[in-house]
Amino acid sequence: SVTSYTLPTCALLDAALGNAKVGSAFDFSVVNVDGSGSGVITLATATGWTLVGLMTVAATAGTAQAFRARKTGDAAWSLYRIA
């Protein structure tokens, strides 16, 4: 089945990362463990995000997709698909 993961709001992310400055970034990966042909994972936006690129992870067990989150302002982040 298609699964959607919603990012936290950027205000919540700012609160969790209290020392993050504009330009700060972190990378993370999402691994798909569903081997069915319909097991696509989609990252969904929340308040404050700008999404750049395709926000999906293929429906193949063990497939990983890397993303980079970069702070662009107060309660504002961009998410990039990177590899």
Sole residue written with tokens 């994972």 = 41
Q: What is the mean pLDDT of residues 60-67?
A: 88
Q: How confident is the model at residue 67 (pLDDT cuts 50, 70, 90)?
A: very high
**Cβ contacts of 64 within 8 Å, gap of 6 or more:** 29, 30, 31, 32, 57
Q: Which of 39, 30, 40 is nearest to 68 (CA)?
A: 30
Predicted model pTM = 0.87
Q: What's the rounded mean pLDDT across residues 59-71?
A: 90
**pLDDT for 3:** 85
What's the residue count for the chain? 83
